[in-house]
Amino acid sequence: MSIALALAAPAVLLAGVLARTPEARMEALPEALRQTPKAPTSVLAVEYSGLWGATPILTRLFPAPHVGANVVVELEPQRDLRRPDLLVYWMPASQDADAFPAKARLLGRLAATTARRFSLPEAQGSLVLYSLGHQERVATATLPAAPEAR
């Protein structure tokens, strides 16, 4: 019995590994999410450092009527956030926060240590930082009134 079990166990294990379906992965972001909007050079940004609570992210808002959006937001982590697969979502101000992520709009991926710009469809709303690897909401920032174009 022991000899039969010793011969059958590796074969069963190998069959199980070969039979499993591969995990769904996205190798690259879609083209629309890879494009980083440029901030206007003639307009100064409004800069906020405490919007994300305990999460140290510097947030800059630029008026951006020339890129087809009301506002361009730049998020710059001040240190490594140590969370896997950070995604940035936008929710309009009128939306219930409990509806996340069902009705939130994905803006793109945030690197843990480098600044990234996103175009917002509306000036009023909230940004949500979500860790896909941990399946948890990391932080939420409610945006103040949009800066005026000068």
Domains and their CATH numbers in the chain: 31-142 (2.60.40)
Length of the chain: 150
Distance from C-alpha of 128 to C-alpha of 107, rounded to nearest angstrom: 10
- Confidence bin at 13 (pLDDT 50/70/90): very high
Q: Is the pLDDT of residue 14 over 90?
A: yes
* Element (DSSP H or E) covering residue 12: helix 2-19
Q: For the segment 93-135, what is each residue's pLDDT rounded down to a tens digit?
A: 777 766 676 778 889 888 877 888 888 877 788 899 988 888 8
Q: For the segment 76-91, what is each residue's pLDDT rounded down to a tens digit?
A: 998 888 888 889 999 8
Sequence-distant (6+) residues with CB within 8 A of 97 are 91, 126, 140
**What is the 3 state secondary structure string of 92-132?**
ECCCCHHHCCCCCEEEEECCCCCCEEEEECCCCEEEEEEEC
Closest among 69, 74, 95, 85 to 129, alpha carbons compared: 85
Q: Which of 4-8, 21-25, 146-150 has the highest mean pLDDT?
A: 4-8
Which tokens belong to 34? Answer: 């890879």
Q: Is the pLDDT of residue 73 over 70?
A: yes
pTM: 0.65
Distance from C-alpha of 82 to C-alpha of 66, rounded to nearest angstrom: 35
Tokens 């011969």 correspond to what residue? 7
Residue type, 124: Q
According to DSSP, residue 39 is labeled P
Alpha-carbon dihedral sign for residues 130, 136, 139, 142: positive
Cis? peptide before 101, omega within 30° of 0 = yes
